[in-house]
Structure 1
Amino acid sequence: MANTSETWKKSSKSTNESCIEVRHGSAAFGIRDSKDRTGGLLIVKRSAFEALLTAVKSGRLG
């Protein structure tokens, strides 16, 4: 998964602090810290990321 800036998305609702950026591929999502774009990358399966989004949107994570 390429680590180029044009392929990453950040929420329009996020502030300058504590942000992540997300990049999606056909089978996985990449997640990185927007303040440290070269500091590492977390890659998760598409199904796991979609389950996380569902849980966040429903308020199940507190």
Structure 2
Amino acid sequence: MTTPQNWRKSSRSATGNACVEVGALADGAAVRDSKDRAAGHFTADRAQWSTFVAAVKADRFQQ
């Protein structure tokens, strides 16, 4: 496993407290809670991450 690099928070989160950060992996992405970075992160491979992003863009999740 590689260490996630270049963690970033969405520019749409502004100063909100309910944010996640995404870090780049060689073959996917890692996601963590921006308020509790020490809690760790979960990972998704490239195919899983692409499927998730496509679902978000298609508005397949309810708020």
Shorter-chain TM-score category? Answer: 0.7 to 0.9
- Count of residues paired in the alignment: 60
Q: Structure 2, unaligned stretches of length 5 or more?
A: none
Matched-pair contact (CA < 8 Å) for 2:32–2:41: yes
Structure having the higher strand fraction is 2
**Cα separation, partners in 2 of 1:60 and 1:3, compared to 1, 3 Å:** closer
Query: What CA distance in whole angstroms lies between the structure 2 residues aligned with 1:3 and 1:39?
Result: 14
CA RMSD, 1 decimal: 1.7
Q: What secondary structure, in the 3-state scheme, does the structure 1 residue paired with 2:38 have?
A: coil
**Cα separation, partners in 2 of 1:26 and 1:2, compared to 1, 3 Å:** closer
Matched-pair contact (CA < 8 Å) for 2:4–2:24: no
Aligned sequence identity (%): 35
Q: Name the aligned partner's letter for residue 10 of structure 2.
A: S
Q: Structure 1, unaligned stretches of length 5 or more?
A: none
Query: Within 5 Å, which residues of 2 pair with 1:1-62?
Result: 1-2=2-3, 7-14=6-13, 15-62=15-62
Q: Cα deviations across residues 11-50 of structure 1 (Å, max 9, x unaligned)?
A: 0001421100001122121100000111111011111011
